[in-house]
Amino acid sequence: MRTPKKFHYIFNMRDLSRIYQGMWNANLPPSIDAKSILRLWRHECLRVFQDRLIEEEEKHYLEHIKLKQIIEDTFPDCSEYALRDPIVWTEFQSALKLLEAEEKADSPVGALHEMSLNQ
């Protein structure tokens, strides 16, 4: 698989740690179920491994053959939910709150307003 054209096709233990780091950093609710955790694991595998692949057939092989096989063999009860598309993990609301907070802090009016509230 590794060729001069695909010199970046080196995967090691650091890549595995990126999967679990991504899962650890996800802001999950305390009541999350096993199906959702498996879905998050699939998302992180695709993020770490599939994003580095060049050819579409390699991406398809990873997602629709290898990951599907692993999930169906290991977690047959959760596989239908975990393999559902689209797979999106993000928090738009918290990202919007952070952006609004940055805009307020950067503007002189926002800074003056914050100072007046603190007095």
| CATH number reported for the structural domain that contains residue 47 in this entry | 1.20.920.30
Q: Are 102 and 64 found together in one domain?
A: no
Is this model's pTM higher than 0.85 or not? no
Is 63:53 a contact under the CB 8 Å cutoff?
A: no
Do 83 and 98 belong to one domain? no
Characterise 53 by phi-psi region: left (phi > 0), alpha (psi -120 to 50), beta (else). Answer: beta
What pLDDT score was predicted for residue 101? 66
Which residue range(s) make up the domain with 119? 89-119
Q: Residue 36: in which H helix or E strand, if any?
A: helix 34-48
pLDDT in tens, 60-111: 999 999 999 999 999 999 899 989 888 777 665 566 666 676 665 555 555 5
Q: Are residues 75 and 53 in the same domain?
A: yes
CA-to-CA distance for 119 and 106, rounded, in angstroms? 20
Number of structural domains, the chain? 2
pLDDT for 104: 58
Tens digit of each residue's pLDDT (9 = 90 or more) over 9-26: 778 899 999 999 999 988
Do both 104 and 72 map to the same domain? no
